[in-house]
């Protein structure tokens, strides 16, 4: 939580996917060789390193202006040094000199790499990169995102031209409505949200006119009207691909409705738990800002929080939702009515679909239900609560609170400040990020492909795609070579797995339609954006996305759709399409520079490619065949052996701790499998590259082989800071392990690493006889 209201993070596009496990896997993933030098660089460098940086100055590639207390090397000395390095066969290109200095600056060479490789690789970076204001976590991912945001800001703040596309102009209007140069949001105050609440039937907390009436209130009505705006409570509904029938879209339904993480309610007391206290304060403060009386508002919000705790108790934890076969329940709307009769489902779904051109649904219409037990339990709970007026009031307060929570950060400063106070307790975030950065991110969430067209035109070059494709082929070949050697997988399953690996599609850069002005304008034709209407622009976006999603019903899935926008610094694997996707935002310097030594490219971008590829064979991805269909294509013996090996991974990562919290090995299993498999595939691909091209020239000032630099580059991907609060929240909710253990955990299973750094028995990083290896 960083000041942005909750939006469709990573899923702006058509590819609305199931929370039941078919979500694109991989983010947030931000591989990078850290290049940013700290301000204290010269005070800690040897004469050789100073000379090398002076060389860069003379070459005119890196211009550094700073006062240095000691005398500078003369031109004659520099020339002699260059000659000496050339005679030593060192790489003295400007890129080699720059990246070598930056790697050194990020390291803590006082640490033994066999004792703590993460600190060895990232200690210098951590010392010189404090968490900036407005963030609860900071790493190489954040640095690259900031860099991309500068490009986006430059594009958004250019004047609109008659030749500009309609979609491009909408991005600029939306951005300006967020920046709010005329202080319209401050002038309007709470009014836009109060108007919306009245449209939804009123909120007893804020409406003293008595609009809300328990005698006429119906849960059916309030669910239908709020869900039509994509403001879901109790459960969520969308249209997505049927995972067992190729190219078929179907209605889907899953559990939902909590304001906090599930575990933040369970076994916690309001009297002692600071997060629950902060949440109640936040609810109360916002309610008062909307016109409520303090004591009355606090009491009603306590009742809402108690109701959310009841929902948490019947919500299935994420770690128990990793088997997509077990989550798949296709029934009819008629069956759903019998399962959860607390509302009229046929009326509800037809109400949602009224914005489309479809004929009315019948009770025989199929729907995928990912949480049948939850739906049964929530139906029993809500049926009972609708029988008396006081409970009706709690239910309406609950629904309206979630509307308020979703939309209040589009209002004036008192509302956004209340959110920040809560966020500080929840995540440890302090201070404010620059507003233009928040607004740039918001535009990317809303009109991300129109904004992406502007981004790729400035940053992405065609040869970047070709180079990335070549590396993917090398990674895939290494993965397949290793797969052929596995002794735990029977020949039948192994042959099918090789077929699946061959069938994986790679998408690089951006979807082609964004450079077609007509297609891009058509994409956002139904989204209305107006000056000085930031709140309403957000509301219209919610409606636009709902309509766009619902219009996919009974249509074939779009094979060309993307789930991430082009400027995103991330990557993902989509099991239903059997594809790996790398947006343009991650395929550029300093994350991916074509002039880098191969050791660094394979250690950073190569590992992320291997990571996404391995997701096709993690505990969830392996359930989908080469066509992206959910079916049983493994033999029983291979499944049994796979499960034994994944349990080793679960146990390994569950033994790691951050503060008082153990990592949840089962919750993070898929990402841990991908981390381990990605590292192994990338290293073997680099080793094969060396066989064909020979060893690379050493980097100046670095007394490490390129095989060692491969592992250093991998570790420096994850150099980062997190507040204790953010780390705790990550343990509760994140499918990824904390950054340090993404490094330590993977290297603990890598004999290649242990051999290259000559770790010995007794060293913390020494790879023991028993390792956890799946792929």
DSSP string spanning 283-342?
Answer: HHHHHHHTT--HHHHHHHHHHHHHHHHHHHHHSPPGGG---HHHH--EEEHHHHHHH-TT
Which region, left, alpha or beta, applies to residue 671 given φ > 0 means left and ψ of -120 to 50 means alpha?
A: alpha
* Short-list 626, 533, 646, CA closest to 578: 626
Tell me which of 324, 675, 727, 734 is the catalytic residue: 675
Asked whether the beta carbons of 602 and 620 are under 8 A apart, the reply is no
Phi, psi of 255 (to 5 degrees): -65, 160
* Short-list 739, 455, 475, CA closest to 585: 455
Phi, psi of 604 (to 5 degrees): -105, -75
* Short-list 653, 634, 613, 647, CA closest to 497: 634
Tell me which of 612, 618, 727, 752 is the catalytic residue: 612
Distance CA 679, CA 609 (A): 9
Cα 340 to chain centroid distance, Å, stands at 33
502-506, long-range: CB within 8 Å, 24+ apart, which pairs?
A: 502/476, 502/626, 503/578, 503/626, 503/627, 504/476, 504/578, 504/579, 504/580, 504/613, 504/616, 505/577, 505/578, 505/579, 505/580, 506/469, 506/472, 506/579, 506/580, 506/581, 506/582
Distance CA 531, CA 533 (A): 6
Q: Is 612 a catalytic residue?
A: yes
| Both structure tokens of 458 | 């400035």
Distance CA 253, CA 510 (A): 30
Residues labelled catalytic: 612, 675
């Amino acid at each position: 939580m960083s000041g942005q209201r909750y939006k469709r993070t990573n899923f702006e596009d058509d590819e609305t996917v199931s929370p039941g496990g078919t979500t694109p896997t991989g983010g947030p993933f931000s591989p990078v060789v850290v290049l940013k030098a700290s301000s204290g660089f010269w005070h800690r460098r040897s004469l050789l390193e100073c000379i090398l940086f002076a060389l860069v100055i003379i070459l005119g590639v890196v211009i550094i202006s700073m006062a240095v207390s000691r005398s500078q090397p003369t031109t004659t000395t520099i020339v002699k040094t260059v000659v000496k390095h050339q005679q030593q066969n060192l790489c003295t290109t400007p890129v080699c000199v720059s990246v070598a200095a930056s790697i050194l600056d990020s390291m803590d060479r006082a640490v033994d790499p066999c004792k703590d490789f993460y600190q060895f690789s990232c200690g210098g970076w951590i010392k010189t990169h404090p968490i900036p204001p407005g963030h609860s976590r900071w790493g190489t991912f954040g640095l690259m995102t900031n860099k991309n945001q500068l490009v986006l800001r430059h594009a958004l703040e250019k004047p609109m031209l008659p030749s500009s596309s309609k979609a491009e102009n909408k991005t600029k209007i939306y951005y300006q409505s967020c920046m709010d140069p005329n202080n319209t949001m401050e002038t309007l105050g709470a009014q836009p949200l109060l108007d919306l609440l009245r449209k939804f039937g009123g909120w007893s907390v804020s409406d003293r006119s008595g609009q809300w009436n328990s005698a006429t209130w119906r849960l059916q009505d309030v669910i239908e009207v709020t869900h039509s705006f994509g403001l879901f409570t109790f459960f969520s509904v969308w249209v997505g691909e049927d995972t067992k029938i190729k190219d078929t879209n179907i209605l889907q339904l899953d559990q939902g409705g909590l304001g906090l993480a599930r575990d933040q309610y369970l076994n916690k007391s309001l009297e002692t738990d600071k997060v629950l206290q902060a949440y109640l304060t936040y609810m109360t403060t916002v309610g008062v800002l909307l016109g409520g009386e303090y004591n009355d508002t606090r009491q009603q919000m306590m009742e809402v929080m108690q109701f959310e705790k009841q929902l948490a108790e019947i919500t299935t934890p994420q770690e128990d939702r990793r088997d997509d076969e077990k989550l798949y329940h296709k029934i009819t709307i008629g069956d759903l009515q019998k399962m959860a009769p607390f509302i009229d489902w046929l009326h509800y779904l037809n109400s949602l679909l009224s914005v489309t051109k479809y004929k009315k649904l019948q009770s025989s219409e199929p729907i995928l239900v990912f949480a049948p037990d939850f739906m049964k339990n929530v139906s029993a709970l809500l049926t009972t609560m609708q029988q008396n007026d006081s409970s009706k009031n709690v239910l309406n307060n609950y629904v309206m609170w979630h509307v308020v929570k979703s939309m209040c950060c589009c209002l004036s400063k008192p509302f956004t400040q209340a959110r920040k106070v809560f966020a500080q307790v929840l995540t440890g975030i302090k201070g404010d990020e620059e507003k233009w950065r928040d607004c740039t991110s918001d535009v990317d969430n809303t009109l991300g492909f129109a904004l992406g067209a502007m981004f790729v035109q400035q940053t992405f070059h065609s040869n970047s795609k070709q180079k990335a494709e070549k590396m993917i082929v090398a990674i895939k070949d290494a993965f397949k070579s290793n797969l052929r050697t596995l002794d735990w997988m029977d020949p039948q399953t192994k042959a099918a797995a090789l077929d699946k690996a061959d069938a994986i599609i790679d998408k690089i850069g951006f979807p082609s339609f964004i450079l077609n002005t007509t297609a891009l304008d058509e994409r956002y034709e139904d989204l209305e954006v107006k000056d000085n209407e930031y709140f309403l622009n957000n509301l219209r976006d919610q409606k636009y996305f709902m309509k766009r999603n619902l219009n996919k019903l009974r249509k074939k899935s779009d094979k060309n759709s993307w789930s991430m926008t082009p400027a995103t610094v991330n990557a993902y694997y989509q099991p239903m399409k059997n594809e790996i996707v790398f947006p343009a935002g991650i395929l550029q310097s300093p994350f991916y520079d074509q002039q880098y030594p191969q050791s660094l490219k394979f250690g950073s971008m190569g590992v992320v490619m291997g990571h996404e590829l391995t997701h096709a064979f993690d505990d969830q991805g392996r359930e989908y065949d080469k066509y992206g269909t959910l079916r049983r294509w493994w033999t029983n013996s291979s499944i049994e052996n796979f499960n034994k090996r994944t349990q080793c991974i679960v146990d390994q990562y569950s033994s790691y701790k951050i503060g008082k919290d153990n990592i949840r090995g089962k919750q993070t299993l898929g990402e841990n499998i991908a981390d381990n498999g990605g590292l192994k595939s990338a290293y073997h691909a680099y080793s094969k590259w060396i066989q064909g091209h020979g060893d690379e020239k050493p980097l100046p000032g670095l007394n490490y082989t390129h095989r060692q630099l491969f592992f250093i580059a991998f570790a420096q991907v994850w150099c980062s800071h997190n507040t204790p609060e953010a780390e705790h929240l990550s343990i509760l909710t994140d499918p990824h392990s904390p950054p340090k253990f993404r490094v330590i955990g993977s290297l603990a299973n890598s004999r290649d690493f242990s051999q290259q750094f000559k770790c010995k028995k007794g060293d913390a990083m020494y790879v023991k006889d028993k390792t956890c290896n799946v792929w």
